[in-house]
Amino acid sequence: MIGIIGAMKVELEALKARLQDVTVTRISGVDFYSGKLHGTDVVAAVSGVGKVCSAVCAQTIVLKFGVKAIINTGVAGGLSPNLKLGEVAIASQVCQHDMDTSGVGDPKGLISGINKVFIDADPLWVAKAEKAAQKLGIHTETGVIASGDQFVCDTDRKAWIRDFFRAEAVEMEGAAIGQVCFVNEIPFVVIRSISDDASGHAPVSYESFFKEAAQRAVALTEEMLKEA
């Protein structure tokens, strides 16, 4: 079984509609939709926004449903000049840009307990995502996706995250899901369609392109599962 997590309803709406033989299980206020998608057993859930909500959701999927991998799909703010609105960032690694214990001598971004700044996504699932995107004609960039509990719409913050972590995109959940997968030894990949440029105008572009970007990420996720 494959787990699929999106932070908001619109990020999973189309995908849930295509599930067959659906069973809904409600745990800790989250509905988990298990069924078949293109012949693959999946469980899909809308986690809620932010690292805590996504981590709770991912851990529940691991413990309750025994998934073999987790796909995090949704939208992100673009940091790379090579990514336009609607194009897709695929995570080879994830990091938490708001994790900071540098006051006690740690590198910025270091995750206490696992002593890592960057967590590797599963290379086989990254390759599946790249192959699916190529088949759909979607331009992608593979690299670091940075997560934090803030909607980044400040040019200085954007530049710092891009330069310090060499990140392609910024969002609010992927690295928390990656951390849960790392400690549980579960393969994962993060797929994020660019909905805004994470600049001072981010709220405007976000409202305009959010639904379109979310649908693009869902289409890519579905194509991956067809091959799974």
- Average pLDDT on 63-71 reads 96
Whether the predicted pLDDT of 131 surpasses 90: yes
- For the chain, the first-to-last Cα distance in angstroms comes to 11
Contacts of 13 (CB under 8 A, 6+ apart): none
Q: From 8, 179, 196, 5, select the one nearest 95 (Cα to Cα).
A: 179
The yes-or-no verdict on residue 206 having pLDDT over 70 is no
pLDDT of residue 62: 97
Out of 79-88, 123-132, 163-172, which region has the weakest mean confidence (pLDDT)? Answer: 79-88
User: Average per-residue pLDDT in the chain?
Assistant: 90
Active-site amino acid positions:
11, 196
* Burial class (CB within 10 angstroms; exposed 0-12, middle 13-18, buried 19+) of 83: buried
Bridge-based pairing of strands 140-147 and 167-171 is parallel
**What's the CA gap between 37 and 217, in Å, rounded?**
15
